[in-house]
Amino acid sequence: MMDSTPVAMPALGGGPAAVPSIRLENVCKSYATRLGGRRVLDHVNLTLEKGRHIGILGRNGAGKSTMIRLLSGAENPTSGHIHRGMSVSWPLAFTGAFQTHLTGLDNLKFVCRVYGVEWKPLLPFVEEFTELGIYLREPVIHYSVGMMMRLAFALSMAIEFDCFLIDEGLSVGDSRFGDRCHVELFQKRKDRSFILVSHDANVIRNYCDRAAVLHKGRLLEFPSVDEAFAFYEAQNVPPPGPVFD
């Protein structure tokens, strides 16, 4: 019978694996608060090989978004090491890096310059995918939140990465646009690696071959997605309420 006991993922030794991978080695992340330092991630270890998919479950405040930011390079760990042996996307639909006084088109040019990609061949895809029309040539500061997220998602799909960082809770518009995003990401790019953060066990079952839970700062991996979700749900059982006669 398979042992479903969660185990903190062990630290890795030796040199980089032959297969391209992303590795987190004893990664810690702390933030200063008015009541002192708070450690969000505590010696997290993870290896994700090229072409593999992992889903990460965790309660609100468990550190999922922090982990995604560290993986993308938006923040640095307090200690430990992150090895990126393949190209990693920014968090999908992340709008924080936009230059809001530039147009959507100028932001496309800027991102392409950063990644060393020619922007002109990507323009037809971005125009068609975002459906922004004339607003693609207007300053982003005038965009709604939904418009900015659609542009960000389109840029994420236009520039190809080996590994995508996905927050399944993100909203990128109406259901039709959401369906198109799923086709672009989970069907057309199913050969890529991705790290998917979600509260939905069905999403992780459908798209991931591994699952882990962020719990009390540690990353716990399980033999199956079902066992990971069972552990996750057990941590979310509310305490019994008062009994009234």
Percent of the chain whose predicted confidence (pLDDT) is above 90: 46
> pLDDT tens digits, residue range 48-105?
999 999 999 988 888 888 999 899 888 999 999 999 999 998 887 666 668 889 999 9
3-state secondary structure 5-46: CCEECCCCCCCCCCCCEEEEEEEEEEEEECCEEEEEEEEEEE
User: What are the two backbone dihedrals, phi and then psi, of residue 229, each rounded to the nearest 5 degrees?
Assistant: -70, -35
pLDDT of residue 168: 63
Average pLDDT of the chain to the nearest whole number: 84
Assess contact for 30 and 37: CB atoms under 8 A.
yes
pLDDT of residue 11: 43
Assess contact for 19 and 8: CB atoms under 8 A.
no
Spatial separation of the C-alpha atoms in residues 144 and 99, rounded to whole Å: 15
**For residues 184-201, average pLDDT:** 87
210-215 vs 193-197, strand pairing mode: unpaired
Statement: residue 13 has pLDDT above 50: no
Spatial separation of the C-alpha atoms in residues 6 and 76, rounded to whole Å: 27
pLDDT of residue 3: 46
